[in-house]
């Protein structure tokens, strides 16, 4: 059985809380951390593992075992120094993926320079959408159309290369509907089902969220 991915969320403001709750509600293992005891106590009602700690201290990162976490989301954009320290310590501890929330392009450059693997702007991407994209690992992007249905952009799988949509019959095999084909930045909604797919092609599909796991 594939090991369930683990997540840590640093900072429980509106954005961090939205990320953490969506991940927890989806059955993921999440450790949520904030320096404000009152916030942590309130969040403990809906986040099973919630700690009051200062993640800018190396000993705290070690004590909490952050180095064993797959993905850390740093949601402390209001405190540049704390965000930089948290990102740096996470990467030094061996965290594979560190995502940081930021408030400006300058902060984005700084966060990327100190090791962030991805930077998100909260005005452009909601915490819930970020969590859904993390959960849809292997997909390029994911947008919820309703509670049960999502539009997803996916890479053409290696075994699909050299075949067309008629041969693949994705609707029958995976329960998904291809609504557009994207190549070289151009999106074509007039789909030729006989078009041969290659590695540079991505598919935009609509599917029930319960079917998406088949694509991973």
Q: What is the pLDDT of residue 140?
A: 43
Same structural domain, 111 and 150: no
Same structural domain, 42 and 63: yes
Q: What is the pLDDT of residue 3?
A: 66
Same structural domain, 70 and 158: no
Residue 190 lies inside a defined structural domain of this protein: yes
Same structural domain, 202 and 116: no
Residue 19 lies inside a defined structural domain of this protein: yes
Tens digit of pLDDT at every position of the chain (216 positions): 456 789 999 999 998 999 999 899 888 899 999 999 999 999 999 999 999 999 999 999 999 999 999 999 999 877 889 999 999 999 999 999 999 998 888 888 889 888 899 888 775 455 656 665 565 544 444 555 566 677 777 778 888 899 999 999 888 888 888 888 888 777 787 888 898 988 888 888 887 766 666 665
Q: What is the pLDDT of residue 215?
A: 62
Q: What is the pLDDT of residue 199?
A: 83
Q: What is the pLDDT of residue 106?
A: 85
Q: Can you spell out the DSSP letters for 101-169? A: E-SSHHHHHHHHHTT-SEEE-TTTS-HHHHHHHHHTTTEEEEEESSSSEEEEEEEPPGGGTT--HHHH-
Residue 1 lies inside a defined structural domain of this protein: no
Q: What is the pLDDT of residue 211?
A: 65
> What is the reported pTM?
0.62
CATH of residue 208: 3.30.70.1450
Same structural domain, 13 and 54: yes
The domain of 16 spans 6-135
Please give the Cα distance from 194 to 207 (Å, whole number).
Answer: 21
Same structural domain, 144 and 128: no
Question: Which residues are within 8 A (CB) of 104 and not within 5 positions of it... i.e. 6 or more apart?
Answer: none
Q: What is the pLDDT of residue 142?
A: 53
Same structural domain, 114 and 200: no
Same structural domain, 70 and 19: yes
Same structural domain, 165 and 100: no
Pick the last residue of a domain from 118, 135, 152: 135
Please give the Cα distance from 25 to 55 (Å, whole number).
Answer: 24
CATH of residue 127: 3.40.50.720
Same structural domain, 76 and 10: yes
Total domains in the fold of the chain? 2
Residue 192 lies inside a defined structural domain of this protein: yes
Dihedral over Cα of 216, 90, 116, 128: its sign: positive
Q: What is the pLDDT of residue 173?
A: 83
Comparing CA positions, the residue from 206, 200, 204 lying closest to residue 190 is 204
Q: What is the pLDDT of residue 70?
A: 93
């Amino acid at each position: 059985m594939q090991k369930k991915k683990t997540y840590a969320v640093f900072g429980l403001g509106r954005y961090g809380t939205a990320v953490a709750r969506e991940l927890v509600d989806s059955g993921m293992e999440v450790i949520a951390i904030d320096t404000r005891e009152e916030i942590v106590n309130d969040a403990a009602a809906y986040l099973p593992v919630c700690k009051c700690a200062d993640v800018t201290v190396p000993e705290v990162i070690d004590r909490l075992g952050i180095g064993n976490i797959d993905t850390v989301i740093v949601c402390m954009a209001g405190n540049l120094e704390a965000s930089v320290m948290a990102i740096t310590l996470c990467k030094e501890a061996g965290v594979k993926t560190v995502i940081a929330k930021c408030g400006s392009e300058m902060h984005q450059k700084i966060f990327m320079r100190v090791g962030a693997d991805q930077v998100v702007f909260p005005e452009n991407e909601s915490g819930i959408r970020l969590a859904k994209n993390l959960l849809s690992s292997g997909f390029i992007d994911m947008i919820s159309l309703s509670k049960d249905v999502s539009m997803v952009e996916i890479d053409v799988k290696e075994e699909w290369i050299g075949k067309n949509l008629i041969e693949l019959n994705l609707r029958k095999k995976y329960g998904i509907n291809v609504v557009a084909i994207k190549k070289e930045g151009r999106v074509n909604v007039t789909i030729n089902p006989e078009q041969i797919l290659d590695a540079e092609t991505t598919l935009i599909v609509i599917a029930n969220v319960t079917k998406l796991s088949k694509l991973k």
